[in-house]
Amino acid sequence: MPLNQENILIVDDDIKILELLTRRLKEFNYHVFKAISVREALFILKDTPMDLLITDIQMPEVDGIQLLKYANERYPKMPKLVVTGYPSVDGALEVLKSGAMDYLTKPFTKAELKIAVEKALEQGRKHQASIVSVPSRAKNQQFNEMVGDSTTFNQVLSIIDRVKDNRATVLIQGESGTGKELVARSIHYSGKYGKGPFIAVNCGAIPDNLQEAELFGYTKGAFTGADQDRNGFFQAASGGTLFLDEIGTACLDVQTKLLRALQEKEITKVGSRTLEKVDLRIVAATNMDLLEEIKKKNFREDLYYRLTVVEIKVPPLRKRKSDIPLLVDRFLQKYGMEYRDRLLRIDSEALKILERYPWPGNIRELENVVQRAVIMADGSIGIKDLPDFLKYEIDFPEEEFIPLKDMEKKYIKRVLLYTNGNKSKAAEILQISRKTLRDKLD
């Protein structure tokens, strides 16, 4: 019988079961890899592409459920099969929700194993064949980074799905730290234009006098220091998506040129009179109330309506608290592997505190807290590993009694305290420009 091409990884801390499965699968002529722990399995997965993962559930330190969640996140196309000696209805449901294709109870016969393996591999092949060809970055790093299952979160995903395959202009609105750029990347990489470039520009980080040149390019001699022709971000994003973050901070002169670019699909470099056609999608984002800025004459009303062909409002984390456990789990996977080479857990009491906190800094603040906890924890993450402002402020007020401006003010003060008043460092942590930070402080 010829050797099959599939690689199968078996993970089980029971040496006898591990050897039995290895022997059986070799009899079926598969390439077999084995690991006695989740940590060992992760090293193998990093180095060798697998066609099937077979794992036990009950294992010391990190269990099979955590391995399934990690593998489902990093290797979504790879089928997963679970074998366990502790069958239960709840356990089966948890396994299937974690990404496994099937559930095999010990003891099982040689024939049952063969059928389950062949079925899982066949489902994996069908899944591979059904996947539309898009950049791997889109599947593995961008759209899969969108974590959540709340109603408000799913509404955002629904809009992304509707706009991803067209060039409609999109305005993403939401507070700082809610993941607006991630939404923009998901629109780009999950759609049929995902093979083109994605260029992200923070308008607030560019001085007013340089915004036009940076966005549209310039010709040699257009101004002091312009010693050669240079393309701008619009040309760099040709065929793809230009993401204009903090669009509300763009100066009025640039807003006028942006309006023309949206209306006529053409731009002019600084110092030139030649019109250049542009073929790209514009996605803009803001944490400002643009309608209020229009009243103050700081933002063009006609540009606003050009930008809001499609409008996506990203909810703050306090409005999607049911997603916090999913986000925590995602960050534990990310930073557990990055800093500790293993998956970490969080105990229920610590998770309850994270679920109750109003998160004025939104997902970015939650990610920073989990990242810190992973670094500080000796084992599983508990209350002791959380920052002091969480440990000692257990009785957080209900969300409806927290004005947004008060929460933002409190968060900015906390960051400034942390940086000893260093505004540049604070702006970097907050991921806003120094100009935006000065405006908020004023």
Amino acid at 398: E
Amino acid at 113: L
Please state the rounded mean pLDDT for residues 147-160: 90
pLDDT digits (tens, 9 = 90+) for 58-87: 887 777 888 888 888 788 888 888 887 654
* Three-state DSSP state, 248: helix
Going across the sheet that includes 310-313, the strands are: 198-202, 241-245, 281-286, 170-173, 310-313
Q: How far apart are CA 374 and CA 71, in angstroms?
A: 20
Q: Which domains does the chain have, with CATH numbers?
A: 7-130 (3.40.50.2300), 140-313 (3.40.50.300), 318-441 (1.10.8.60)
Q: Are strands 80-84 and 31-35 parallel, antiparallel or unpaired?
A: unpaired
Q: How far apart are CA 255 and CA 242, in angstroms?
A: 15
Q: For the whole model, what pTM was predicted?
A: 0.62
Sign of CA dihedral 239, 244, 247, 252: negative
To the nearest whole number, what is the mean pLDDT of the chain?
83
pLDDT at 59: 80
Q: What does the block give as tokens for 388?
A: 């002091």
Residue 4 has pLDDT above 60, yes or no: no
pLDDT at 308: 92
- Integer-rounded Cα Rg, in Å, for the chain is 26
Q: What does the block give as tokens for 219?
A: 């010709």
Using CB atoms within 10 Å of the CB of residue 397, give its burial: 0 to 12 exposed, 13 to 18 middle, 19+ buried: exposed
pLDDT digits (tens, 9 = 90+) for 82-137: 887 654 434 445 555 555 666 777 778 888 888 889 888 887 776 655 433 333 33
